[in-house]
């Protein structure tokens, strides 16, 4: 499915939409931090927002933030001070995953009609590894924000 | 909804894992998030948008995997990830089938597994939530569904 779309094309568009979401909605300047990665080690003291893609193309889009950056992103996004991972942070990080998932859906299908998104979910913990089950093609895009690095991960079922 | 989930889980355990499990009363909104070593999540889209999660302490996840594969599994690694992710996938499949009589059509995403220490998951604050704890000789584990029905 969608064999015509290459990851390099997806990467470019997702990088573009990530920067757009951050400058336009989160109000935070970010930049690409190097080449896409194939794998990510365990995440430490982090929060992950994820959303599933179902329909003609199944997959997952996830965005991984270290805790301090997640607090800063939420603060900037919602215009409030946050000091702990609470429901506001979970909603903000889930919403960023949701927006990126919506963009990925549009990239993968002409009008986004044959792919549907699940609800977003967040995962957080002291240390965790995040991996998919199915046979997937995977890419991880690193970004630099003022208070740390974060990663946008795309996994598409083959 | 609870019954569909419980039946799907019992079906998976009786056909593939051969461990007796018992469902406890479902917990609804307001329950504090528990911490786990392993969570397998799968997204659901369509008439029901949601996320289904199987949450296990490490020992229970390894025990279930050992029973499923018929060999001793002592590491919280790839085998456990595959086994519990597959259970999440099958329970989600059971939910999909169980909703057909109600005229609700859903599609599944792919299962993702998180392994770590003190892992917590949460959904959007507006979604409904149902959490069903199960007990088995290995300990307790749970299945959680956060969803919005259209």
Q: What is the DSSP string of A6-41?
A: -HHHHHHHHHHHHHHHIIIII----EE-SS-BS---
Instruction: Let me know the angle formed at the C-alpha of A21 by A18 and A24, rounded to the nearest 5 degrees.
Output: 140
* CB-based contact A133 B124, cutoff 8 Å: no
pLDDT at res. B31: 53
Domain A7-157 has CATH 3.40.718.10: no
Nearest C-alpha of chain A: how many angstroms from B11?
Answer: 21
Q: Where are the domains of chain A?
A: 7-157
pLDDT at res. A1: 45
Instruction: Let me know the angle formed at the C-alpha of A135 by A132 and A139, rounded to the nearest 5 degrees.
Output: 65
Say which DSSP state B33 is in: P
* CB-based contact B116 A128, cutoff 8 Å: yes
Tokens describing residue A16: 């573009």
- State how far the Cα of A149 lies from the Cα of A36, in Å rounded to an integer: 13
Give backbone dihedrals phi and psi of B91, rounded to 5 degrees, phi first: -65, -40
* Nearest CA among B42, B9, B46 for reference residue B24: B9
Are β-strands A136-145 and A148-157 bridged in parallel, bridged antiparallel, or unpaired? antiparallel
Read off the pLDDT of residues B91-104 as tens digits, 9 standing for 90 and up: 999 999 999 999 99
* CB-based contact B112 A122, cutoff 8 Å: no
- For the segment B115-122, the average pLDDT, to the nearest whole number, is 90
Read off the pLDDT of residues A29-71 as tens digits, 9 standing for 90 and up: 999 999 999 889 999 999 999 999 999 999 999 999 999 999 9
Q: Where are the domains of chain B?
A: 2-149
% of chain B beyond a pLDDT of 70: 95
* CB-based contact A48 B118, cutoff 8 Å: no
Nearest C-alpha of chain A: how many angstroms from B19?
Answer: 23
Read off the pLDDT of residues A115-134 as tens digits, 9 standing for 90 and up: 999 999 999 999 999 988 77
Write the CA distances from A23 to A12, A30, A76, A95, integer angstroms.
17, 8, 11, 15
Asked if residues A119 and A96 have their Cβ atoms less than 8 Å apart, the reply is no
* CB-based contact B107 A90, cutoff 8 Å: no
Nearest C-alpha of chain B: how many angstroms from A151?
Answer: 16
- State how far the Cα of A71 lies from the Cα of A69, in Å rounded to an integer: 5
* CB-based contact B109 A87, cutoff 8 Å: no
pLDDT tier, B29 (very low <50, low <70, confident <90, very high otherwise): low
- Portion 79-98 of A in contact with B at CB < 8 A: 87, 90-91, 94
Nearest C-alpha of chain B: how many angstroms from A139?
Answer: 15
Q: Which of A91, A116, A118 sits opposite B125 (nearest CB)?
A: A91
* CB-based contact A54 B121, cutoff 8 Å: no
Beta bridge partners of B129: B146
pLDDT at res. A133: 77
Q: In this predicted complex, what is the ipTM?
A: 0.90
* CB-based contact B45 A157, cutoff 8 Å: no
Nearest C-alpha of chain B: how many angstroms from A63?
Answer: 13
- State how far the Cα of A118 lies from the Cα of A121, in Å rounded to an integer: 9
Which residues in A lie closer than 8 A to residue B145 (C-beta atoms)? Answer: none
Could you tell me if residue A150 is left (phi over 0), alpha (psi between -120 and 50 degrees) or otherwise beta? beta
Say which DSSP state B71 is in: S
Note the CATH number of domain B2-149. Answer: 3.40.1550.10
Say which DSSP state A66 is in: E
Q: At what angle do helices A87-108 and A7-21 cross, to 10 degrees?
A: 140
Q: Which of B108, B113, B124 sits opposite A131 (nearest CB)?
A: B113
3-state secondary structure of A114: coil
CA B31 to chain centre: 17
% of chain A beyond a pLDDT of 70: 94
């Amino acid at each position: 499915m969608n064999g015509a779309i290459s990851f390099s094309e997806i990467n470019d568009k997702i990088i573009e939409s990530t920067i757009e979401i951050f400058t336009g909605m989160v109000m935070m300047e970010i930049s690409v931090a190097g080449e896409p990665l194939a794998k990510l080690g365990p995440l430490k003291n982090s929060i992950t927002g994820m959303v599933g893609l179902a329909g003609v193309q199944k997959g997952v889009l996830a965005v991984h933030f270290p805790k301090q950056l997640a607090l800063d992103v939420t603060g900037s996004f919602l215009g409030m001070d946050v000091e702990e991972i609470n429901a506001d942070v979970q909603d903000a990080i889930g919403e960023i995953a949701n927006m990126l998932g919506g963009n990925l859906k549009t990239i993968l299908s002409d009008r986004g009609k044959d792919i549907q998104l699940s609800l977003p979910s967040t995962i957080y913990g002291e240390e965790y590894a995040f991996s998919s089950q199915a046979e997937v093609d995977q890419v991880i895009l690193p970004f630099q924000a003022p208070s740390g690095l974060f990663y946008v991960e795309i996994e598409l079922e083959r | 909804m609870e019954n569909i989930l419980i039946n799907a889980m019992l079906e998976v355990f009786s056909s593939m894992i051969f461990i007796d499990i018992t469902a406890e009363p479902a917990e609804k909104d307001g329950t504090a998030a528990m911490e786990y070593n392993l969570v397998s999540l799968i997204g659901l889209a369509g008439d029901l948008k949601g996320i289904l999660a199987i949450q296990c302490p490490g020992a229970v996840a390894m025990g279930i995997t050992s029973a499923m594969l018929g060999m001793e599994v002592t590491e919280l690694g790839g085998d456990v990830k595959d086994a519990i992710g597959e259970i999440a996938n099958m329970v989600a499949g059971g939910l999909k089938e169980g909703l057909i009589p109600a005229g609700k059509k859903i599609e599944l995403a792919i299962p993702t597994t998180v392994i770590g220490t003190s892992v917590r998951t949460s959904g959007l604050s507006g979604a409904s939530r149902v959490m069903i704890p199960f007990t088995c000789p290995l300990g307790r584990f749970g299945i959680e569904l956060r969803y919005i029905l259209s």
